[in-house]
A and B are shown apart, each in its own frame.
Chain A
Amino acid sequence: MPKRAEKNSDLKLPPELLDLLAGNEEVELEDVEMIIDELQFLFQPGVMPAVQRMVPSLKGKPKSLLDAPFTLPVQKYPAQIVEVTLGATKSEGGSRGRSITVGGEKSPAFYTFENPIPNPPIVSFDVFDSKVPLPKAVKTNFKDVLDDPAAWAKFCVDKYGADMITLHLVSIDPLNDKPSTPAEAAKTVEEILQAVDVPLIVGGCGDPEKDLAVFEKVTAAAAGERLLISTVTLDMDIEKSAKLIKEHGHVALAFSPMDLNQARELNRRLFEFLPKEQIIMDTTTAALGYGLDYAYTIMERARLAGLMGDPELQQPMSSGTTNAWAAREAWQKMDPQWNPRELRGPLWETVTALTLLLAGVDVFMMMHPAAVKTLRSTISKLTAKRGKGDPEKVANWMAAKF
């Protein structure tokens, strides 16, 4: 840097300082000029110590590690997510082996540097009360029980340790050839309650009138069991549904089609008849590759808004993660490079679930045992205390042979 040294030499600075500047390739010219100006101004014979004190402040290649600790970026949130309990034990007025509480978050999903996870998210296995088209990869796992919802539910609990079961009453759909009646549907619910002792989610067919008629029977038949009734929507008779759910001690699953304003409106209307502790919301799950980005962002926004104080978005969230199988890449035959689909499919469901887990979902309705297993193990790892990551363990991957 002879040019700069020349320039500086006009200022008649002490040689040590000149050396420092000359050896410093990284100082911006403007900075140097500014410092020189200041020095010039300050520089008077006989005040050498002052100049020396300034020397360390000049930038140069550091010879040892500089200390710059990280400040945890902790934020305060004015509100928290409501806690909702699903299932009721004998002492709680039902017949379940245990009840499960979800929600209660005080921070965005798994920001455990701020707050611990009050209640880990839970996974429920799907069971259908009549034949539905299922992908082969899923079907093979349940092939012996597909015709018997009670056996199917029991199989999920016994074989896969299911924490919850979702019974989808698809047989009631008025568009079917022979839709089953509300009484028949209630009977199936009772059979499941007999077969397993985990908390239950009961789903309708999506027809607002028929669903309500079925819920009327089901809520009464399973009074006190604290079922999650799936779903209550804006086009239903909300007052009637909410009153049924309240009267018989269940929980409403408030479903809205990927629209935060509708989610708010539905919750607001439910609040008129139901305590907050009896409402979970579902803002719609789209499959990976088929709108997962919208589903993810709506959920993330809902959770952040709830924590920031929006009283209409503070309910725990549920996701119909099985929708992942609507993506053709999850099930269809493809060129050999993408095979086997027996792995591609369950990973598709897994990735959909993991993404929504990070958006804040509390209840997952899922299908493939491998996807469920992965999600559950991820939840337990993320819920664990921080500080377990041992640097030694990852230090050598670069040179490792595998």
Chain B
Amino acid sequence: MTERIVKRGMKQLSPIDVYTLLPKTNCKECGEENCIAFATKVVNREVSVDQCPPLLTKKYEKNYMQLKEMLKPAVKEVTVGADDNAVKIGGKLIMYRHEFTYFNPTAIAIDVTDEMSDEELADRVKKTEEFTYTYIGNDLRLQMVAIRSTSSDPDKFKAAVKKVAEKSKLPIILCSSDSAVMESGLMAIPEARPLIYTATKDNWKEMAELALMYKCPLAVSAPNDLNLLRSLVKTLKEYGIEDLVLDPGTFPSEGLADTVNNFTMLRRAACSMDDELVGYPLIGTPIVAWTESASSPTVSAWKEAQVASMLITRFADILILHGTDGWALLPLTVLRQNIYTDPRKPVAVEAGLRTVGSPDENSPVLMTSNFALTYYTVEQDVESADKSAYILVVDSEGTAIDSGVAGRKLTAETVADAIKESKLEEKVKHRKLIIPGKAARISGEIQELSNWEVLVGPRDSSGIPKFLRDKWK
């Protein structure tokens, strides 16, 4: 345990490093052809070393420990919640997403208080639980409920925690700086492994005892004081707390520069300087925006979203929000999806002819570009039209329709060539091509070069179902 191998980043760690420590028997028990294939998957984080049965035997105990240490992420992975509904946070290997990919998307928690009416509490929990937006095949959701004690009354807090736990299975964050209130909340859900928010310079001992007693992860707060934060971490670690979450404070207005710098410094110290004492998930509290004076709730919600979006980009692993407006949560959850998308995946899809359903010789043909996001959006929209169709994916060098046309990557020539190569003329009886509205400017040229009749479709592919209903009889 003493020799720490600092080889966590993907750049340094090679499959050979892992292979050397494997049993090297090519037993195939893991499901791979051989140990080197398994090692490659381990390095790419596609499988865990725990999936190698022989490695888990006494004989390889030392190798196993060494591999675990070697593969340990720069930011510890912490689990909030219990059983199937638990959410993992942290587990980051790298600072910049292009160095590998980010794991465990920022968990978003919505707050309730112990002084809310039953209806309001139930309504907010329901909104949190039911929030869903389908975005290129993924359901975007919210992950947690944060319960705040505004009453400072242990009994009220306990009752509120009970109510939330009865209504929802989402993991819980318990928010109070009073350890008596916290204990009361924990007693309501002793097995649920909520995140205890939060230990400070004044209450760390009591909060640490609670975290040990209830086996919960513990947040540590030291607003804008990284010396204090790191000192608290060292102290709590020695106290026996393994799962910590760091809160350097979120300042939505005055002090925003501190917030962005503190999150950045903590993550860099963990990833680049190997500072294990700050190698924990980070929690941001854009909800603070609601404590600042504002002319209307809309202004507070806007400000909250502004800070939250910056912290999604700058390393936050959990965010606590108050606003439940869809107009604010939608851009935030989409941004999170973007930032946590694996950057190793290609921007472009393969050009060529695709089918939706089982098209025949009378089915419509819709043209689009090979920019991955354009293609997937179009595919989804054509599917929702409930009509079999062909999608002709033209090689636009991975650009979207408008920029492809403007930049002359998507031209009448490329479209005419694509029609020819796809052998569409053997597949359909008609000669009608539906092109995106954003490519309307080249419709005449396409018609001339391909001898196909061009129908200009909607500017946005969400209009495809209606277009097909109205225009494709």
Contacts and interface: CB of A to CB of B under 8 A. Distances in A.
B338 A289 contact: yes
B322 A402 contact: yes
A374 B269 CA distance: 30
A208 B115 contact: no
B272 A75 contact: yes
B176 A389 contact: no
A178 B237 CA distance: 72
B254 A401 contact: no
Interface of B: 1, 96-98, 113, 115, 133, 135, 148-150, 152, 175-177, 197-198, 201, 204, 208, 222-227, 229-235, 238-240, 249-251, 253-261, 264-265, 268-269, 272-273, 275, 277-278, 285, 287-288, 290-291, 298, 300, 302, 305-306, 309-310, 313-314, 322, 325-328, 330-332, 334-335, 337-339, 341, 343, 347, 371, 373-374, 377, 397-400, 402-403, 405-409, 441-442, 459-460, 462
B155 to A, nearest CB: 16
Nearest to A170: B406
16 contacts: A65-B232, A68-B235, A70-B229, A73-B275, A110-B264, A207-B408, A288-B335, A291-B373, A292-B338, A351-B305, A354-B313, A355-B309, A358-B310, A374-B302, A382-B260, A402-B322
Interface in A203-228: 205-208
A400 B240 contact: no
**Would you list the 4 A-B pairs with minimal beta carbon distance, nearest first?**
A389-B255, A206-B406, A389-B258, A68-B234
A386 B261 contact: yes
Contacts of A41: none
A257 interface: yes
Interface string A59-96: 11110011111111101000000000000000000000
B249 A340 contact: no
Contacts of B149: 398-399
B400 A389 contact: no
B459 to A, nearest CB: 7
A347 B227 contact: no
Contacts of B347: 258, 291, 294
A284 B407 CA distance: 12
Contacts, number: 265
Contacts of B135: 289
Given A339-B327, A393-B254, 9 more contacts: A257-B398, A338-B326, A347-B302, A348-B331, A387-B224, A388-B257, A393-B251, A397-B285, A399-B152
Interface in A378-401: 378, 381-391, 393-401
A68 B233 contact: yes
Contact of A398 (B175, B240, B261, B397): B175
Contacts of A393: 251, 254-255
Which of A67, A68, A292, A304 is the most central at the interface, judged by chain B CB atoms within 10 Å of its CB?
A68
B399 A133 contact: no
Contacts of A398: 148-150, 175-177, 197-198
Interface in A287-311: 288-294, 296-297, 300-301, 304
A329 interface: yes
A328 B460 contact: yes
Contact of B257 (A26, A235, A384): A384
A65 B201 contact: yes
B250 A394 contact: yes
A82 to B, nearest CB: 22
Q: What is the size category of the interface that chain A forms with chain B?
A: 35 or more
B338 A69 contact: no
B269 to A, nearest CB: 4
Nearest to A337: B326
Contact of B251 (A233, A385, A394): A394
A348 B332 CA distance: 9
A350 interface: yes
A290 B328 CA distance: 18
A351 B327 contact: no
B339 A293 contact: yes
A326 B400 contact: yes
B467 to A, nearest CB: 15
B115 A401 contact: yes
A381 B306 contact: no
A332 B239 CA distance: 54
Contact of A351 (B133, B265, B332): B332
Given A383-B257, A394-B249, A65 B238 contact: no
Contacts of B298: 343
A105 B234 CA distance: 35
A399 B373 CA distance: 43
B226 to A, nearest CB: 4
A271 interface: no
A62 B235 contact: yes
A370 B337 CA distance: 24
Contact of A111 (B175, B261, B374, B402): B261
